[in-house]
Structure 1
């Protein structure tokens, strides 16, 4: 497998966890775009959104993903909103295999209830927001994806095995 592999999907679905497991199994370097951005600015994504705003974050995200994709033989986890960028979508399509970790609204609510460090979750009507969030982004996720994995309530080893078998 010479192509890069990109994990996309909503926040908290396991892109980083599954990406790390897969990287060890198929001997590719794992990179998390959010982690790189946090390292560059030396603050959390939550504080980046709070102090600089989402627009600033998205511009930096594009720059980081452009630089990362010069590398070969990587697995990259993209932040949930990265696919909103036309530039990022084109980079992903051009340079690798895109794996979408898909989740429905009820399972999504169960998974993210414990996430306190996500800037977009700091709102009152969370279920209504998440419905709109998934509807808007699912369109982009589905249209650039090579592989869709419905994660439902699956354990990470089951998700990994599905992906690994599809990549053979």
Structure 2
């Protein structure tokens, strides 16, 4: 084999490795959760405000999928739960803004007295898989909630009570 062919094969192999690195780097689900690490205070504040809101309007031990926020990617104004105060709305808008408007829903539910708060990003799958940032004190409840849905998912623990869910 001539020296020129070896050089071309070397260049082609290098380009393939670089391309594979870029693809893997862009597909890394952990990177999706950087928003949580960078804006954890906002997520915690929304969790607290949502807890107060739900306790004030519904004291049942089981509450199914109450939408606190829903944009669904529509051009219409974002819609909030009628009881969401201006402070809660502002914090959710901040999360939506720092996510590049990938935040589509904030959903709350309670089962057996345990809160489950879901921040749903990239619902339309415009930039890869849909992913959720979820708060629940019980990991087993998070797993049960997603096993009840007809989806495949990957769970990543982000912090105490906080989880990342990537819908496949």
TM category, shorter: under 0.3
Rg: which structure is higher?
Answer: 2
TM-score (structure 1 length as normaliser): 0.28
User: What is the TM-score normalised by the length of structure 2?
Assistant: 0.28
Greater RCO (Cα-Cα under 8 Å, separation 6 or more): 1
